[in-house]
Amino acid sequence: AQSVTQLDSQVPVFEEAPVELRCNYSSSVSVYLFWYVQYPNQGLQLLLKYLSGSTLVESINGFEAEFNKSQTSFHLRKPSVHISDTAEYFCAVSLIQGAQKLVFGQGTRLTINP
Amino acid sequence: KAGVTQTPRYLIKTRGQQVTLSCSPISGHRSVSWYQQTPGQGLQFLFEYFSETQRNKGNFPGRFSGRQFSNSRSEMNVSTLELGDSALYLCASSWGQLGSLQETQYFGPGTRLLVL
């Protein structure tokens, strides 16, 4: 079975500071990797995903994540955060072969202070 | 293009009752997945429907059931409600053709269910 661990439940940072949200996964088979963002009182939005190819993937709003197979990690980073980035971030995996479902981590609440 | 819509947005029920939640996917999408989000358990997969057939199922009791109609709209039913069923129920849609999550899943805003 797959599992996802998000190492920090809350991350407070100052505006314009860099941030890293950590995600480690466990799986005996190959998986796809995702980061979703949930703004207050809203559903989930896909931020970025890793399917294959380049291990560094980027989103349109400045976030990036790097797939590290040896460390089974998929950490999310942004060099300079904005107040509007305040949200909860979820790391997730799914099997490449087999049941198509997302297995989520517990989430990291990112709070941006002015 | 309209996004995924869920109705109702909020619902209050009492223990023992049953509830039906509705999800309308993005036009053209044939796969609908349901997830339960609670503070304690986080986001958990309930089931996925594709072309009116349940294609995948999570580890929830039989009180949780669903169905999908020919227009791809989906309903989820919970019978004999328990306090622990209080949660945000999210549905997500995708094309579903590839049968894998290479395709992006688009989530609705959710239905918040409170069981008293």
Q: What is the mean pLDDT of chain A?
A: 91
Quick one: what percent of chain B has pLDDT higher than 70?
94
Q: Give the chain A residue whose CA is nearest to the CA of B50.
A: A100
Q: Are B37 and B43 in contact (CB under 8 A)?
A: yes
Range scoring the smallest mean pLDDT among A56-60, A76-80, B98-102, B112-116: B98-102
pLDDT of residue B37: 94
* Better pLDDT: A82 or B99: A82
Quick one: pLDDT at residue B56?
A: 87
For B63-73, how does the pLDDT look when each residue is reduced to its tens digit (9 = 90+)? 999 999 999 99
Nearest CB to A42: which of B48, B55, B109? Answer: B109
Asked whether residue B101 carries a pLDDT value surpassing 70, the answer given is no
Looking at the predicted structure, is the pLDDT value of residue A13 above 70?
yes
Mutate one of B105, B106, B111, B112 to test the A interface: name it (highest A CB count within 10 A): B105
Which of A72, A84, A77 is CA-nearest to residue A112? Answer: A84
pLDDT digits (tens, 9 = 90+) for A68-111: 989 999 999 999 999 999 999 999 998 776 666 889 999 999 99
Q: How many CB atoms lie within 10 A of CB B22?
A: 15
Q: How far apart are CA A4 and CA A104, in angstroms?
A: 6
Q: Is A45 on the interface with B (CB under 8 A)?
A: yes
Q: Are strands A103-104 and A31-38 parallel, antiparallel or unpaired?
A: unpaired
Q: Which residues in A lie closer than 8 A to residue B4 (C-beta atoms)?
A: 43
As a whole number, mean pLDDT of residues B61-84 equals 96
Q: How far is A17 from chain B (nearest CA, A)?
A: 28
CB contact under 8 A, A43 and B109: yes
